[in-house]
Amino acid sequence: MTETVIPAGSPRDPRRSPSVWHDRGVFPSTSPETGRDPWADGAPDGPAGPAGGPAPEPRPAPADDAGSRRERGPRRFRKGGQPRRSEDDDVEPDEEPIEPVEVRRPLSLTVAGFAALLGVGLVLGAQTAGPGHRLPFAIIVFGVQLLFVLAWTMAMRPPALLLVALTSGVVAAAADVAAVQTDVAGLAPLGFVALGGFLLGVLGQLVRRVDRVRVTDSLGTTLLIVVGVVAFATLITLSRIPAGTQAITVCLVATGVALTVARLTDAVLAWPRLAPQVPRGAAGVVVGAMVGTLTSALLGSYLVGFTPTSAALIGLVTAATAVLADLAVGYAEAGRLMAGEPPTMWIARHMQGPLGGFALAAPAAYAMCVLFL
């Protein structure tokens, strides 16, 4: 009987039948197509079998932005459907540098001279005051008050400028009369005069239909000018108490020296600038207050009733108050210019600072004299 030979690899080969291997309880460990590379186009992603050769090396992760995107979290979308710009794309525009205002040396020297003359006039006027002889000093103070009213009304320009100026002049005269004629020297009569003048100025603006709309804008201006003119009258009241004339001399000399030195320092070295829009320097403010305090301490060693320590303390308070008030006036003027308001009268703008400094130093001198002398 002829034996039929079935070639290996034929579909009829019983060795390829799974049932044959299943009956034997084993499975082939090798493929009958050994030697052929079934993955000729590329290596498989998974690990190879134990008999399929050595395991392929792990492939490096693709270099993409998946990791960085995963660290930043998912992208958020705006309400309009567009994704939010990343942090790298948020580039803020550079701010335009603000050019500092030029410091004019002739102007600083002029203001310094005015402050020195104002201090000398008030100090010499205080020396003329005596018991029962206050009228000359009151006349000098009234002249300074009129300058204050002129400078501050022209610089601040309240709605009813003429009405505020006339009311402030009447209040100045009434405050001087009250300071001279009252039996007991005190601040109560001056307070009543200031309150009456403020109410009179507000009512006068309410009567006029044109100024009624801006009456709220003029409340602060009217109050500031009225209080300023009344503050000068405290010098007359101070001259009526014991050691008042010496206190006026110490305080006003310290104030005048501080304002003058501060402006002179700005003319030479306006550094460091406190604000680009304000032509003032911190060196002038500090040096002016220090020189004014030193001057008051020197005066205290020669005046009766004072010591260098007490005079330096009083001079420090008044000098620092004056230079800060002068600096605040500069900031206020810069704010008005930045707001678009037209510049006011030249002479009124630059008289405003020294006058404001002396007006604020006067009640400070009265308070320090009453508390420490």
Angle between helices 346-372 and 308-338 (to 10 degrees): 150
Q: Which of 71-75, 343-347, 359-363 has the highest mean pLDDT?
A: 359-363
In this prediction, residue 337 carries a pLDDT of 83
Interatomic CA distance for residues 225 and 231, integer angstroms: 10
Angle between helices 161-181 and 188-207 (to 10 degrees): 160
Res. 316: pLDDT tops 90: yes
Interatomic CA distance for residues 84 and 6, integer angstroms: 72
Helix and strand numbers (H, E) in the chain are 12, 2
Nearest to 148 by CA among 361, 370, 318: 361
Res. 298: pLDDT tops 90: yes
Tens digit of each residue's pLDDT (9 = 90 or more) over 165-182: 999 999 999 999 999 998
Report phi then psi at 73, rounded to 5: 90, 175
Res. 22: pLDDT tops 60: no
Are the CB atoms for 256 and 118 separated by under 8 Å? yes
Q: Which of 47-61, 286-300, 321-335 has the lowest mean pLDDT?
A: 47-61
Res. 149: pLDDT tops 90: yes
State the pLDDT confidence band at 221, using cuts at 50, 70 and 90. confident
| Residue predicted with more confidence, 27 or 175 | 175
Q: What percent of the chain has pLDDT over 70?
A: 71
Instruction: Calculate the average pLDDT of the chain.
Output: 79
Buried b (16+ CB within 10 A) or exposed e, 214-241: ebeebeebbebbbbbbbbbbbbbbbbbe
- The residue count for the chain: 373
Tens digit of each residue's pLDDT (9 = 90 or more) over 28-47: 444 444 444 444 444 445 44
Residues 6+ apart with CB under 8 A from 352: 151, 152, 155, 329, 333
Measured between alpha carbons, how far is residue 1 from residues 4, 5, 7 in Å? 9, 12, 19
Are the CB atoms for 151 and 351 separated by under 8 Å? yes
Interatomic CA distance for residues 357 and 234, integer angstroms: 14
Q: What is the DSSP letter of 59?
A: P
Tokens at 203, concatenated: 């009512």
Alpha-helix runs per DSSP H in 182-214: 188-207, 209-212
Tokens at 178, concatenated: 């009250």
Residue 278 β-bridge partners: 275
Interatomic CA distance for residues 294 and 311, integer angstroms: 9
